[in-house]
Structures are given as C-alpha cells and as structure tokens.
Amino acid sequence: MIPYGKHHVDHHDIKSVIKVLKTDNITQGPLIKTFENAIAKYVGAKYAVAVTSCTAGLHLAAIVSKMEKGKKLLTSPITFVSTANSSLFCGGQTIFADVDSNINISVEEVNKICSKKKINAIAPVHFGGLPCDMKRLKKIADKYKAIIYEDAAHAFGATFSDGYKVGSCRYSDMTVFSFHPVKSIAMGEGGVITTNNKKIYQKLQLLRNNGIEKNNNNFIYKNKFKIKKSDNPWYYEMQELGYHYRITDIQCALGLSQLKKINKFL
C-alpha cells in the first residue's frame, strides 16, 4: 500500500515536545505567540492566529466574512467537507464552481456565477498544493465585493508565480492552513489563519478564545476592572459568542521544530 501522506518526526521534534512538558506552560503559554510569529514571517503576512484545526480556521474565517442566513459562499466541489461546511456552520449557503484542468476552481466559472448571483465570499482551494490563479480571482472578488478566504490546507510552503508565498494574503483577506500529519508540517492536529488586516486579526483572536477579552485596553466597561484603583487580574469580558479553538504549547513546540525542516519536506 502506498500512503497518500505520511508525517516525519525526528529526535529534535521529540526533544522540543519533552522540553515543553517540563515547563509550567503546556497550553496558553508563550510558544503559541512564538509559533504564530514564525508562521507569519515565513509566509510574509502581518498576522497569524493559531487554532485547533484548519476546520476551526475556516469556520472563524466564515464568521469574520459575515456569512449568515441569505449569504452565499462559492467554493470548489473537489475539497474536504470543511471548506463547504464553513458557510453552513454560520447559517449561510454554499454553492460550487467547477474546476479547471489543474483541479483548482475555474476562474471562468467563478466569474460566470458571480455575474448571475450575489456571492458574498469565495473560498478557493489550492488543491494538492498548487496555487489557484489568485490574481484573477481577486479582480473578480473586488468587482463583485466578495471577501476571499483561501483554503490552503494542502499548500503551506507553496509559492505563487510572482514569488509571493501562499499565506501572504496578497490576493485575499485570509488564508487558512492545516498542520494535520499528512500536510507539509505535522503538529498532530492544528491550523493557522493568516491575514494583513488588523481588525480581522483581533476578531479572530477573540473568537478562538470563547469570545473572551483580557486586555484592559480593549475592555468595554473601563471602570469594572479596578479594585481600589488597582487592576483586577481576574476580570475579563466575554464580548462575542466565541469558541474554544485554542491550540497548545505542546503542539506549537512540535510545529516550530517541524518548520525548521520545511524545505526538506517540500
């Protein structure tokens, strides 16, 4: 039997995980931010938000795209269920555009559908790691005022013909990656969303952590977090209906170690 994908873990990966297990923070610790910064730097994006899976990332991308009842997502019929489900999770509708000879979504079909129906978001899938024609897709999205979130589950490390990496969000609002064991780097489970939009970044951070805000600079009730003029360390605000999509330091340690071998894996 020939496996369609197989992860590779060496002694450096194992040591990185053991090191975290011996610290005080196995989750919600500093390695998550370190990992996010490393991913953003690698792909050339301003921001990255690590989540439990690519599915979780696509769900949050759909929420940020304001998918809801009456809104339509356009995507490829050749993909994993999560891409199509991302809109359905939010009460929206999902419709499909046929693929071209590269098994990626057909730009001509996207244009044809957008000219006939109101499309609110487009989720192109970089099938097998081959980037879609994002330049042309962005022109269509801009014309019809549709948001784009890329499903790049297969495509971490892939590069567009102009030299920009998938995930740089040069031609989209968000890009979502997977770090499942059959993807470019393995973290057991895990995903990340990249973006260049600060408001989107902040919204994603809030949504992945149960909608909870702990930064007093962002509090709605400015007078509530003080006790006798001192900050109350236990005060926080639930500002959105969010989700428990937080990733762990254990996974991020493995991800950082795997990232060092990305060129070999590619």
What tens digit of pLDDT does each residue of 162-210 get?
Answer: 999 999 999 999 999 999 999 999 999 999 999 999 999 999 999 999 9
* 116: confidence class by pLDDT, cuts 50, 70, 90: very high
- Residue 1 reports pLDDT greater than 90: no
- Left if phi > 0, otherwise alpha if psi is -120 to 50, otherwise beta: which for 103? left
Q: CA-CA distance, 68 to 14, in Å (whole number)?
A: 43
Q: What is the overall mean pLDDT for the chain? A: 96
- Residue 67 reports pLDDT greater than 90: yes
pLDDT digits (tens, 9 = 90+) for 135-168: 999 999 999 999 999 999 999 999 999 999 999 9
pLDDT digits (tens, 9 = 90+) for 204-258: 999 999 999 988 888 998 877 777 777 888 899 999 999 999 999 999 999 999 9
Q: Quick one: average pLDDT of 29-39?
A: 97
Whether residue 185 contacts residue 179, with contact meaning beta carbons closer than 8 Å, is answered with yes
> According to the model, what pLDDT value does residue 223 have?
79
* All domains in the chain, ordered by first residue: 11-209+244-265 (3.40.640.10), 213-241 (no CATH)
> According to the model, what pLDDT value does residue 233 have?
82
Tell me the helices (H) and strands (E) count for the chain, helix number first. Answer: 9, 11
Q: Which residues of 78-107 are buried (b: 16+ CB within 10 A; e: fewer)?
A: ebbebbbbbbeebebbbebbebeeeebbbb
* 23: confidence class by pLDDT, cuts 50, 70, 90: very high
> According to the model, what pLDDT value does residue 49 have?
98
Whether residue 18 contacts residue 236, with contact meaning beta carbons closer than 8 Å, is answered with no
* 60: confidence class by pLDDT, cuts 50, 70, 90: very high
Q: For the whole model, what pTM was predicted? A: 0.95
CA 235 to each of CA 25, 55, 214: distance values in angstroms, whole numbers, following the listed order: 21, 31, 7
Q: CA-CA distance, 107 to 98, in Å (whole number)?
A: 9
**Residue whose structure tokens are 């109350």:** 232
